[in-house]
Structure 1
Amino acid sequence: MISTSSPEDEARRAFDAPLYADLAGDLNVSFEFFPPKTDKMEEQLWSAVETLSPLAPKFVSVTYGAGGTTRERTHNTVARIARETSLAAAAHLTCVAASKAEIDDVADAYWDAGVRHIVALRGDPPVAGAKFEPHPQGYQGAAELVDGLLKRHPFEISVAAYPETHPDALSAQSDIDNLKRKIDAGATRAITQFFFTPDAFFRFRDTVAAAGIDADIIPGIMPVSNFGAVQRMSAMCNTQVPSWMGRLFEGLDEKPAARQLVSATLAAELCRRLYAGGVRDLHFYTLNRAELSYAICHLLGLRPQVSAPELEKTA
């Protein structure tokens, strides 16, 4: 059918549509935090948890330092979230610098603390740039870790995925094969490394589907609070930073408020395009800074579903 609408009609419809119309209400979000190293950082973390909790995330996760360096702090943070809030807490667990027996003990401690969700990762070596070497008595990689965890307890397990290929992978295909091994071992879903263009995710999703992987692939969203830091992180994890992004952040090094506004707008636009492509779950790397992730969720139409006093579990 030939459209009879005039260019003026089309322009009017475009201008009448809100820039950020609310999504359909079927979007799920989750948030990632890192364990605090100081009392001040702990205050910042719990302020972030308090700020984001009313958005009713599907789960919140806590990272695990390279080489297991934050093992105790990660456990304490996750256990406190599980104990003191109504949030579903997920703990990161890696294969680095630990035997199977040591990792199994950590997994048992999580289970005893009421934690039912593990983010199972190979993990990074304790020395930046070093090659990963499995512990002689340890798990050889994330797929083996997933299998070992499920033999101990019926955890819900998330694993990592890399839209632009893990830097240690021999090839893009070998990276996909490794992801399939993790899913076949029993992982529930995969959460991606951050990326900055929707096409990077959609191409990866198509490749994953063609490989016979039918688990949910959740996009990992990294709001850019510091462009220089994100450039360094991106170079380490093989993420492409578009040239236009550099131009948008140029001149904002000494203007943190303006930088936050640009960051929130960019991330919200990325999320809306992912949503338009069928994505219904988003995972935010918060870096323990709540305001950016909260602003992005607000732009996407998410509103508080519970008030802060209701978050604490009743006896």
Structure 2
Amino acid sequence: MLANLHGLKADPLFEAATGDIEVSFEFFPPRSERGAEDLQDTVAALAPLGPRFVSVTCGAGGSTRHHTRDAVVRIATQTPLAAAAHLTCVGASRNEIDDLARSYWDAGIRHIVALRGDPEGPGSRFEARPDGYAGAAALVAGLKRVAPFEVSVAAYPECHPESRNRAADLDNLWRKIDAGASRAITQFFFSADCFFRFRDQAAAVGIDAEIVPGILPIANVAQTRRFAAMCQASIPPWLDRLLNGLDERPAARDLVAATIATELCAQLYAGGVRQFHFYTLNRADLSYAICHLLGLRPQEDADARSRAA
């Protein structure tokens, strides 16, 4: 067998990775001093990669709005990064949401990730308040009335769990873009074909805004399976088998997770994708490793190589 391999030449897997990509990173707001320290460390580790923006999520039912604002303002004022705040329709009136948006603008935040949001409590469904925003499209329009925010919205390659069908889901995305959103960031997925089909379907109905794939490195297998079940994201059978038993071996899990996510990104890159959004779960190591394999280097290293050339 070894003799048959003698003389064969294969290019190194990441030889062509030139780093000509743009990335963004998503964090969740800390709820404790230890969490705040972990987030600070994560931001500091990823900042040298020069993300075009970083965002901070808002919990179900709008439960972390104040934590989100604190984290976003801290990143914006204490780092050179462009920080975006997640803002949802849930659990607040239009006036309350508008006031929060104005406070972001006054604090120098120019980018909002506008989402309908999830209600609190498992199994509960979103019910628009009579004095609230009816959904993400209405929220986008409301934010644009408050100030000229850059607005990102969500997209669902495998269809939102509450959508009647794909056509209805695409119509909802079109209305969000038409209301003024600059780009859509997708829910995570594990098949490049899934993203490409969705991108083609969106283009076919006239959606010409940037659609950025959301990448979830598998930091915890059980947690990833729960997330996938909640949003009805498919885990391919081959991947499901591959993940079995890895939570008991964290170091091996991280190696496998980085390999899987980098291969997915490489397939997306081959299909013309140059922007990637990473769901970091407030862990820097996996996202950093994936970016490194894709050829992205800390800005100061890139500058030094340019000066030496």
If the length of structure 2 is used for normalisation, what is the TM-score? 0.94
SS in 1 for 2:153: strand
| Code of the aligned partner of 1:250 | N
Equivalent of 1:267 in 261, 266, 277:
261
Alignment-derived partner of residue 245 in structure 1: 239
Query: Conserved in 1, the CA contact under 8 Å of 2:18 and 2:294?
Result: no
Partner amino acid for 1:226?
N
Asked if 1:185 is matched to 2:175, the reply is: no
CA contact (8 A) 1:56 1:306 kept: no
How far apart, in 1, do the equivalents of 2:290 and 2:236 lie?
20
Query: CA offsets, 1:64-96, max 9 Å, x none?
Result: 011110011000000011111110000000000
Displacement, 1:16? Answer: 3.9
Q: Name 2:57's counterpart in structure 1.
A: 63
Aligned: 1:140 with 2:134 = yes
1:96 paired to 2:90: yes
SS of the residue corresponding to residue 15 of structure 1 reads: coil
Distance in 2 separating the partners of 1:249 and 1:13: 34
- 1:32 aligned to which of 26, 29, 48: 26
Match for residue 306 of structure 2?
A: none
Please show how residues 121-140 of structure 1 align to structure 2 within 5 Å.
Answer: 121-140=115-134
Question: What does residue 194 of structure 1 align with?
Answer: 188
Q: 75-84 or 240-249: which moved more? A: 240-249
**Cross-structure match for 1:301:** 295
Residue 15 of structure 1: CA displacement? Answer: 3.0
Aligned letter for 2:173?
A: L
Q: CA deviation at 1:98?
A: 0.5
> What is the rounded CA distance, in whole Å, between the counterparts of 2:228 and 2:99 in structure 1?
33
In the other structure, the counterpart of 2:159 is 165
Q: Distance in 2 between matches of 1:241 and 1:121?
A: 24
Give 1:229 shift. Answer: 1.2
Given that 2:221 and 2:246 are in contact with CA atoms closer than 8 Å, whether structure 1 keeps it comes out as: no
Deviation, structure 1 residue 228: 1.5
Q: Is the 8 A contact 2:20 2:295 kept in 1?
A: no
Shift of 1:231: 1.0
User: Partner of 1:154 in structure 2?
Assistant: 148
TM-score, normalised with respect to structure 1: 0.92
Q: Percent identity?
A: 62
**Aligned with 1:117 (options 111, 134, 151):** 111
Cα offset for 1:14? 7.5
CA distance in 2: counterparts of 1:22 and 1:78, whole angstroms? 35
CA distance in 2, matches of 1:13, 1:185: 59
Pick which of 156-165 and 242-251 moved more.
242-251
Distance 1:156 1:14, change over 3 A: farther
When structure 1 is superposed on structure 2, of 149-158 and 18-27 the one drifting more is 18-27
Deviates more, 1:77-86 or 1:12-21: 12-21
- RMSD between aligned residues: 1.4
Q: Kindly state the Cα deviation for residue 253 of structure 1 after the two structures are TM-superposed.
A: 2.3
Gaps of 5+ in 1: 1-10, 308-315
